[in-house]
Amino acid sequence: MSESDSIDDFLAGASDGNTPKKKTSGFKVTLLVLTVILAMVVGTVATLAYFANRSVTNMQELGDPFAELTDRPTQAATTDGEDAPINFLIMGSDSRISAGDVDDWKFGAQRTDALMLLQISGDRQHIAVMSIPRDSWVTIEGFGEAKINAAYSYGGPALTIKTVEQLTGVHIDHIAAVDFTTFEQLTDIVGGVDVSTTDGTQHLNGADALKFVRERYSLPRGDFDRVRRQQLWMSAVMKKVLSQETLSSPTKIMDILNSMSEYVSFDDSLGITDLVSLGSSLRSLDKDNIIMFTAPVAGTGTSDNGQSIVNLDMDALTSVSKAFQTDTVSSYVALHSDSLDTLTSRPVD
Summarised one tens digit per residue, pLDDT across range 212-246 is 888 888 888 887 788 788 778 877 877 776 666 76
Rounded distance between C-alpha atoms, residue 115 and residue 91, angstroms: 5
Q: How confident is the model at residue 58 (pLDDT cuts 50, 70, 90)?
A: low
d(CA 272, CA 28): 8
Q: Is 38 left (phi over 0), alpha (psi -120 to 50) or beta?
A: left
Q: Output phi, psi for 158, to 5 deg.
A: -60, -45
Is residue 23 very low, low, confident or very high in pLDDT (cuts 50, 70, 90)? Answer: very low
Q: What pLDDT does residue 171 have? A: 97
Alpha helices (H) in the chain, listed in sequence order = 7-14, 25-32, 45-55, 96-99, 150-168, 182-189, 206-214, 223-241, 244-247, 250-261, 272-281, 314-325, 329-335
Q: Which residues contact 138 (CB under 8 A, 6 or more apart)?
A: 145, 146, 147, 148, 163, 167, 312
pLDDT bucket at 176, cuts 50 / 70 / 90: confident
Range from 25-29, 114-118, 196-200, 203-207 carrying the lowest mean pLDDT: 25-29
User: CA angle 153-305-95, nearest 5°?
Assistant: 30
pLDDT of residue 142: 95
- The mean pLDDT value for 136-157 works out to 92
Choice between 298 and 110, residue whose per-residue pLDDT is larger:
298
Average pLDDT over residues 57-63: 61
Contact 237, 186 (CB under 8 A): yes
The number of beta carbons lying within 10 Å of the beta carbon of residue 255 is 17
Of residues 262 and 13, more confidently modeled: 262
> Which residues, in sequence order, are CB contacts of 322 under 8 Å at separation 6+?
169
**DSSP SS3 for 51:** helix
pTM: 0.78
Q: Tell me the β-bridge partners of 280.
A: none
CA-based nearest residue to 61, from 23, 34, 87, 94: 23
In angstroms, the Cα distances linking 177 to 58, 189, 223, 268 are 14, 21, 19, 13
Nearest to 290, CA basis, from 34, 103, 44? 34
Give the C-alpha separation, 308 to 315, whole Å.
22
For residue 164, pLDDT beyond 70: yes
Q: Where are the domains of the chain?
A: 8-336
Residue type, 226: R
203: pLDDT strictly greater than 90: yes
- 74-87 burial, b at 16+ Cβ within 10 Å, e below that, comes to eebeeeeeebbbbb
Span 143-161, average pLDDT: 91
| One-letter identity of residue 85 | P
Considering the domain delimited by 8-336, tell me its CATH architecture. Answer: 3-Layer(aba) Sandwich (3.40)
Q: Is residue 47 over pLDDT 70?
A: no
Contact predicate 130/341, CB 8 Å: no
- Provide Rg for the chain, Cα atoms: 19
- The mean per-residue pLDDT over the stretch 306-335 comes to 95
- Asked if residue 242 lies in contact with residue 7, where contact means CB atoms within 8 angstroms, the answer is no
